[in-house]
């Protein structure tokens, strides 16, 4: 589009156009369980405002979301629930593991805590911190946007393999 508003031409590959759209309209499902959930709320509130990056449409239904933000501890009682939620999301789906508990168990190396959600579901971006500051989550979102634009997330790579016929459809 030219500056005067008249239409010009923009050539791109269809897949890139789709990914551009995807990365700028991530719909998060906030799986906030503990302290990180509070910082995630702060990120969504006015001061940090995740809406600036096109990710303000919070959906608690896995059917309507494509970004799972796991914010907080997942223990052995919650792990099957998380797996269910992840399985119910439709492709392409992305996962941010926010905070030390979700990423590795953090300071809680104990009987009840899952030592990292990546033992259960694939994770695209990890956010360090206990809890991470809102800036950390925003940075993770930007990183994820880059990955989505490059079609480099777990879900997109699998979809590409399925399209090539190398992998069976789930």
Partner 1 sequence: MDIRTPIPTNGGDWLARFGEAWKAQTDALKQKFGEGVEEVRLPPGYPTDVPVVYVRKGALIDVLRYLRSEPGFEYGFLADITATDEMSDPRFEVVYNLLSHSRLSRIRVKTRVRDSEEVPSATGLWAAANWAEREIFDMFGIRFAGHPDLRRILMDERWVGHPLRKDYPLKGYQIFTEPEEIKPELLGGSRPSAPHLELPSGITVEHDPDDLWSDSRMIVNIGPTHPAMHGALRMAAKLNGETIEDAYCSFGFTHRAKEKLGENRTYHQWIVYTDRLNYCSALVNNVTYAMAVEKLMGVEVPERAVWIRMIVSELARITDHLVCVGINAVDLGAFSYFLYGFHQREEAYTLIEKLCGARLTTSYTRIGGLMQDAPEGFEKEVKAWVNRTRKVVDEMDELLTGNKIWHQRTIGVGIFNKEDCLNFSYSGPNARAAGVDIDLRRDQPCMFYKNVEFDVPIAQNGDVFDRYAVRLEEIRQSLNIIAQCADRMKKGPIWSEDKRVRIPDKDVVFNTMEGLIHHFKFFMTGFEVPEGEVYSGFEAANGELGFYIVSKGAPRAHRMRIRGPSVYHYQGLTPMVRGEKIADMIAALGSINIIAGELDR
Q: Which residues bind partner 1 (CB under 8 A)?
A: 31-35, 37-39, 41-42, 45-47, 60, 72-73, 75-81, 83-85, 101, 107-115, 130-131, 133
Closer residue to partner 1 in complex, CB, 81/163: 81
Nearer of residues 26 and 70 to partner 1, judged by Cβ = 70
Looking at the Cβ atoms of 40 and 148, the one nearer to partner 1 is 40
Q: Which CB sits closer to partner 1, 23 or 93? A: 93
Whether residue 123 contacts residue 117, with contact meaning beta carbons closer than 8 Å, is answered with yes
CA neighbor of 144 nearest in space, from 123, 128, 161, 129: 123
Enumerate residues 6+ apart whose C-beta is below 8 A from 27.
Answer: 55, 57, 58, 59, 64, 65, 66, 67
Using left for φ > 0, alpha for ψ between -120 and 50, and beta otherwise, residue 62 falls in alpha
Q: How far is the CB of 57 from partner 1 (least distance, A)?
A: 13
Alpha carbons 153 and 66: distance in angstroms, whole number: 12
**Which one, 45 or 167, has the nearer CB to partner 1?**
45
Residue 137 has a CB neighbour count (10 Å cut-off) of: 28
Residue 152 Cβ, how far from partner 1 at the closest point, in Å?
28
Q: Is 148 helix (H, G, I), strand (E, B) or coil?
A: helix
Question: Least separation, in Å, of the C-beta of 87 and partner 1?
Answer: 12
Find the shortest distance in angstroms from Cβ 104 to partner 1: 14
Give min distance, CB of 114 to partner 1, in A: 8
């Amino acid at each position: 589009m030219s500056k005067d508003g008249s239409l010009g031409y923009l050539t791109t590959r269809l897949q890139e156009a789709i990914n551009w759209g995807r990365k700028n309209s991530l719909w998060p499902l906030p799986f906030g369980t503990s302290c990180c959930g509070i910082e995630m709320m702060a990120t969504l509130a006015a001061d940090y405002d995740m809406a600036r990056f096109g990710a303000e449409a919070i959906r608690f239904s896995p059917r309507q979301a494509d970004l799972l933000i796991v914010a907080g501890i997942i223990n052995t009682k919650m792990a099957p629930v998380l797996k269910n939620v992840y399985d119910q999301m439709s492709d392409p789906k992305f996962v941010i593991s926010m905070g030390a508990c979700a990423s590795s168990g953090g300071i809680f190396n104990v009987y009840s805590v899952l030592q990292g959600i990546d033992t259960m579901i694939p994770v695209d971006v990890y956010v360090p911190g206990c809890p991470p500051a809102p800036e950390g989550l925003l940075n993770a979102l930007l990183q994820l946007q880059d990955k989505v634009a490059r079609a480099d997330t777990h879900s997109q790579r699998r979809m590409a393999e399925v399209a090539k016929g190398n992998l069976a459809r789930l």
